Amino acid sequence: MPRTQDLVHVRALLERDRPWAVYALGDLSPPFCHDSEWIVTEEPSPGLALLYRGFGTPVLFLHGDTEALAALLVEIHEPRMYLSIREAALPLVEARWRVSEAQLMARMLLDWSCFRPPPMPGVVRLEPEDLPRLERLYADGVPTGEAPDFFQPSLLEGGVYFGAPEDGGELAAAAGTHLVAP
């Protein structure tokens, strides 16, 4: 099964389940597409695998039914990955790799027609110059496993990050996007 650069076809496959594929759809946009490796199958049914290499450890995203995913997994030869898969795909992955830490991910969808932004007193948008404060906050969470798995300093330039500063200017909390894409 060859890798593909046909992003129009990849998008068409992902659009079949937009809520599930939202991160992968974002990875079609620059600069994320440069770190994305796509593998597509049409037989026995349509499916795709994405190896996103924008972080130190690749992220494997799978999309399709179990027959398609079984065919796709034969093409993956990474010794270590983060997984972005549905629960039904877990046994297929476990047949080839040891899964050390499974965590469920909740997806939230926003209905813009009823969205009313809440007041956010004391919350500020973070900019690239806030990186040292954000890194100190994240470092504080490392011993307890509360530091984010996926963060790069460039996310402050192209993403949307907000923080709640304490007295003295250090951040008490922060939240941000992994990607922003049209």
Q: Is the peptide bond before 44 cis (omega within 30 degrees of 0)?
A: yes
The residues, any chain, with a CB within 8 Å of residue 169's CB and separated by 6 or more, are 133
Tell me how long the chain is. Answer: 182
pLDDT of residue 149: 78
Report d(CA 159, CA 154) in Å as an integer.
Answer: 8
pLDDT of residue 113: 95
In terms of pLDDT, which residue wins out, 118 or 6? Answer: 6
Task: Look at residue 23 and tell me whether its pLDDT is greater than 70.
Answer: yes
Report d(CA 23, CA 98) in Å as an integer.
Answer: 24
**Helix (H) or strand (E) segment spanning residue 83:** strand 82-84
Q: Kindly report the average pLDDT of the chain as a whole number.
A: 91
- The per-residue pLDDT for range 153-181, each reduced to its tens digit, is 888 887 789 999 998 889 999 998 877 77
pLDDT above 70 covers what percent of the chain?
Answer: 99
Task: Look at residue 5 and tell me whether its pLDDT is greater than 70.
Answer: yes
Q: What is the mean pLDDT of residues 131-151?
A: 90
- The per-residue pLDDT for range 49-107, each reduced to its tens digit, is 999 998 889 999 999 999 999 999 999 999 999 999 999 999 999 999 999 988 888 78
Task: Look at residue 35 and tell me whether its pLDDT is greater than 80.
Answer: yes
pLDDT of residue 32: 87
Whether the predicted model's global pTM rises above the 0.75 cut: yes
The region, left, alpha or beta by phi > 0 then psi within -120 to 50, assigned to residue 64 is left
pLDDT of residue 1: 60
